Amino acid sequence: MSWNPESITEPVARRDYNCSACEWVHDWINEQVFSFAELRLIAKAKRDGWRIKKGQKYIKVTGKWDGDWSVFRARPEINELCQKHGIYQE
Tens of pLDDT along 37-80? 999 999 999 999 999 999 999 999 998 877 788 899 999 999 99
Crossing angle (nearest 10°) for helices 76-84 and 36-47: 140
pTM (two decimals): 0.86
Count the domains in the chain.
1
Query: Which pLDDT score, from 0 to 100, does residue 1 have?
Result: 55
60 beta partners: 9, 73
Range of the domain at 85: 3-89
